[in-house]
Amino acid sequence: MRYLKRKNAAAEQSASDVSDVVQGLLDQMETGGEQVARDLCRQFDGWAGDVLVSEAQLAQAAEKLTAQERADIEFAHDNVRRFAQAQRATIQDTQIEILPGFVAGQRQIPVQSAGCYVPGGRYAHIASAIMTITTAKVAGVGYICACSPPSGPDGIPAEILYAMQVCGADQVLNMGGVQAVASMAHGFFGLPKVDVLAGPGNQYVADAKRILFGQVGIDMVAGPTDLLVLADGQADPFVVAWDLVGQAEHGANSPVWLVTDDVGLAEQVLKQVPDMIASLPEPNRSSAQTAWDDLAEIVICEDRDEMVQVSDRYAPEHLQVQCADQDWWLSNLNAYGSLFLGEETTVAFGDKAAGPNHVLPTSGAARYTGGLSVAKFMKTVTWQASSRDAMRPIAEATARISRMEGMEGHARTADIRLAKYFPDEVFSLGTNKVR
């Protein structure tokens, strides 16, 4: 393999160390409670209005949207809901008879409460509300709190509020940033403490979730979004180039990569991208330009086997395949957050309305985890039950293994059952004999 374009190592900036700042904010709220959260909301979001969004405000949000806008949000919600329901159907209770009379099993139990973070700022992330709230709802979570940074005099944008309402949020916080994450985790403003925090956010939100993990569950610690496109000679370079540019518009720290075995295609993509970026409005144009100049890479491989090796090494959040023989790629690729097969689909479909979740592992984390699913809002717990006869060989083995480990107390919990249930027999268990 060789690089037609490499990232600019000199220009690449390492992520800022924000942990001290985030920890300080969390400590303030731990001590000062919701009043500190209000103060931080006023400081960072410029919001001094109501923190809790009322039912009337939610209704007003719907009235501010056109019928088409409401229909599009409902369409996306329905697709995400049905995909999540299909996921839920694969997560089942089960049991097995380990030995005759000794039964063990597992139950799938949804968490009682969840907090869904919806990013704000430059873009109105309607889809993030749909992805997180809908998935928690389908999982069976009893209480869902959603939050998003207020924007302007009305607070959270109407389109986000409408999506939150359609998807089933029980309460909405006019708040973003570390203060929102902490408020949901601590149960400020009279709300239940959440069991799980989910949803993308900036580096401060991501670090707050990381620090709070253990006190609450989290979906993942997400970094900047990324995309890798695999393309062979049959791919359309115009389409490939636009897919790369579309993802680069997320921000200056969002890498995109093209991996191909066709030099001609790679050269055409490299030639077309600058004009495409130049056609974007600001600030999208500046973000995409910086991401392309500093972080984008184009890798030339010998064949498709090497393309797979390179792709698995990058382990991208989004992996797009514009190559012949889609089934081969589906069978051979192993490290990605979400896979998009063929020119007929693209990352934006998955990000907005197709159905599969767009909250995905970044920064190579797809090597060991997948994205947000109903399973993130559920607990797989196990149980066991036994007849007295069935527990006998289990108890005998348990006592012997426990003594090999030096755990005499564990051994005796098995011994006493053998002695109680089989009083007429003698058991040789390690150094002790129990009658």
Show which residues are catalytic: 317-318
Neighbours of 104 (CB within 10 A): 15
Asked whether the beta carbons of 123 and 205 are under 8 A apart, the reply is no
Q: How far apart are CA 86 and CA 78, in angstroms?
A: 12
Residue 45 CA, chain-centre distance (Å), reads: 25
DSSP count for the chain of H helices, then E strands = 16, 16
Tell me the one-letter amino acid at 354.
Answer: A
Q: How far apart are CA 223 and CA 211, in angstroms?
A: 15
Residue 302 CA, chain-centre distance (Å), reads: 34
Q: How far apart are CA 196 and CA 194, in angstroms?
A: 6
Q: How far apart are CA 129 and CA 372, in angstroms?
A: 13
Q: How far apart are CA 435 and CA 430, in angstroms?
A: 14
What kind and span of H or E run contains 115?
strand 113-117
List, as own/partner pairs, every contact residues 332-335 make where C-beta atoms lie below 8 angstroms and the sequence separation is at least 24, other chains included: 332/308, 333/308, 335/311, 335/366, 335/367
